[in-house]
Structure 1
Amino acid sequence: MQIDREQLMRRKLPPGYARVVMPLVLSILMSGVVSAVATASNIGPGASFTAAWPNAWVASWMVAFPTLLVVLPLVRRLVAIIVEQPR
């Protein structure tokens, strides 16, 4: 069963959800990368990395997501002060 593009477009969330979805996706990606780098630098690549990294990722994400929810509005304000807005 193949979903066409029009069906996919109708399944999008309303714009108000962007406040939560953006920090959610950003926190998943960033905590994954940062925890992978930290884990690899501490224990090196290999079987021990594969066993340790998922736990490090979950712990990192549990801090990253709520932090982004709180900090992102402040960051947007600071960026608006520093960067000229389009006209």
Structure 2
Amino acid sequence: MKPFVPRRLEPVAYGLLLTGMMSCVVSGISTAIASGVHGGFFLRWMSAWAPSWAVAFPVVLVVAPLVRRILKRIVAA
């Protein structure tokens, strides 16, 4: 497949994919612990995941520059 995201948008695409995958896994685990894995689990999971991702993505876009600055101070060159 030919790349279609411009290089300048790579950090945004990275954040979108990372938060999507992480929020999916975490919401699935949390939903399973809270309500068990039985009938209707998938719908409950997706209902938890969608708003989680909607929050996680903009938070990562805002917090990522701060994390990069902190890492520059604590990671040896």
Residue aligning to 2:36: 44
Aligned residues with identical type, % of pairs: 42
Q: Aligned equivalents of 1:50 and 1:28: distance in 2?
A: 16
Residue aligning to 1:58: 50
**RMSD between aligned residues:** 1.2
Q: Aligned equivalents of 1:12 and 1:59: distance in 2?
A: 27
Deviant stretches of 4+, over 3 Å: none
CA shift, 1:46, in A, is 1.6
Residue aligning to 1:70: 62
CA shift, 1:79, in A, is 1.1
Residue aligning to 1:30: 22
Structure number with larger C-alpha Rg = 1
Q: Which has the higher contact order (CA 8 A, sep 6+)?
A: 2
Q: Aligned equivalents of 2:74 and 2:39: distance in 1?
A: 45
Question: Once the two structures are superposed, what CA deviation does each residue of 1:31-56 show, in whole Å capped at 9, x if it has no partner?
Answer: 10110011000001122311200010
1:25 alignment partner AA: L
Between the two proteins, the alignment pairs up a number of residues equal to 77
Q: Normalising by structure 1, report the TM-score.
A: 0.80
Q: Normalising by structure 2, report the TM-score.
A: 0.90
- Consecutive unaligned residues of structure 1, counting only runs of 5 or more, are 1-7
